[in-house]
Structure formats: structure tokens, C-alpha cells
Amino acid sequence: MIHEILIPSNIAEYSNVKFQFEGTAEQAIDEYYRLFNLFRGGAGMTDKEFNEVVDEYIATNKIADGADRYEQMNRDQKIIIQTLKRSFKRTREN
């Protein structure tokens, strides 16, 4: 069975990217989530790279070559780093 998958894009309001997929309904759902995650956050850093950045930030409150490494992160990874930064700021003020 051929399925059409519409993924919301950030290009313009109410715009979608359309994909056609051939497979079962269950496979189409899996493919939808795979594509959705690619559009939402991108690949980002590998788990190993991201863990190294988090460990470095927790230990030193800094990220070496921070701007370049931050650009390599996907949306979810950036949210985690920003949450850590806010936590450090709150706990250091008290």
C-alpha cells in the first residue's frame, strides 16, 4: 500500500513536506516518526559527542569551542544545554 506522509516544515507557516512511502500501516507510522524527528531536530551530535559536551559543561561550566559545537547540535540537544545553563545560573546565585 502506498502512503503519503506530510511533515510540518519550518520553512513557512502551514507548509508541509510530502513523502510517498510504500509499506504497511505500521511501517508508515515508523517512517513518519523517523522523518518527523529529522525535520524537527536534525541528526545533531552523536550520543558520544554530546555526552562529552555535557560532561565537560558540568565539570567546568564551559564548553571548549562552544559556538562551533553548539551549531553541531540538534534542537533537542540545544534545549538540554540551555536547561543546564539556567540550572547552573540559578544554583550559583543562591
Q: Which pLDDT score is estimated for 11?
A: 61
Domain coordinates in residue numbering, the chain: 2-41, 47-93
Q: Which pLDDT score is estimated for 54?
A: 95
Q: Which pLDDT score is estimated for 18?
A: 84
- 3-class secondary structure, 11: coil
Tens-digit pLDDT string for the chain (94 aa):
888 887 776 666 667 788 898 989 899 888 888 887 777 666 788 889 999 999 999 999 889 998 899 888 888 889 999 999 999 888 876 5
- How far is C-alpha 93 from the geometric centre of its chain's CA atoms? 29
Cα–Cα–Cα angle for 82, 71, 54, rounded to 5 degrees: 45
Q: Output the pTM of the full model.
A: 0.56
Rounded to whole angstroms, the Cα distance separating 89 from 13 reads 35
Neighbour-count burial for 20-34, b at 16+ CB within 10 Å, e otherwise: eeeeeeeebeebbee
